[in-house]
Amino acid sequence: MHVLVLTAIDVEARGLARHLGLARVERTEWPHYRAGALEITCVGLRAARLEERVDEWARPGVVVSAGACGALAPKLATGDLVVPETVIAPDGHRHAIDALPGLGRSGTLLTVADVVESAAAKSRLWMETAALAVDMESAVIVAWARSRGLRAAVVRGVSDTATDAVPADLAGLVDVGGRVSAGRAVRAALARPAALADAMNLGRGTAAALKSVAAALARVARQA
């Protein structure tokens, strides 16, 4: 079974590929990796580049939305794995998620249109939806897969806990195509000196999240 893994940003695609030992597909301009049963590529924030990049992929047996997510449930710690049974779209539509070999599913993940910046906002979403965690791509990716008659799954790792804030200037470091902009990072640090420490903390959380996701994808690949 060919497993197509879609991430939002280039850091996620590169990190997962490095953990899993996947080779770069040189003919594409964006991060794109393949080896054995796995293919990993970046589709941008909110999966905005999904349609324009689809022609470069082999037809998958299953599409996986993978990468980092923000915790809504207080029990989740940085690096914890989130493999939901259901994804809630920004419009409230609920998508049932397919199982992956070697991984159990539990709970719900919420997809939102914009970054959830504060702990208070996370708490409100948790109480309103009972979702374990939040991202900005999974519902879009799942709906896209379903429209093409493909199975769809979600494998996410927690990069920031329910009490962690994600300031807007950090979210703004990533362009719509999924690339982290060095120029934006410099401007954010100059405008708000604490942004550098916040970015480093989020980077550590993202690294822990990707390590967990890569281990899960390795289990899937072994049984694919």
Give dist(CA 86, CA 97) in Å, integer: 5
* Reported CATH class of domain 3-223: alpha beta
Give 35-86 pLDDT, tens digit per residue. 999 999 999 989 999 999 988 888 899 999 999 999 999 999 999 999 999 9
Confidence of residue 89 (pLDDT cuts 50, 70, 90): very high
Give 158-217 pLDDT, tens digit per residue. 999 999 987 766 566 555 554 665 556 556 555 665 655 666 777 788 999 999 999 999
Q: Please give the pLDDT value at position 201.
A: 74
* DSSP secondary structure letters along 107-174: SEEEE-SS---SHHHHHHHHHHH--SEEESSHHHHHHHHHHTT-EEEEEEEEEE-TT----HHHHTTB
Q: Is 148 left (phi over 0), alpha (psi -120 to 50) or beta?
A: alpha
Signed CA dihedral, 43, 45, 47, 51: sign only: negative
**Is the confidence at residue 141, as pLDDT, over 90?**
yes
- Percent of the chain topping pLDDT 70: 85
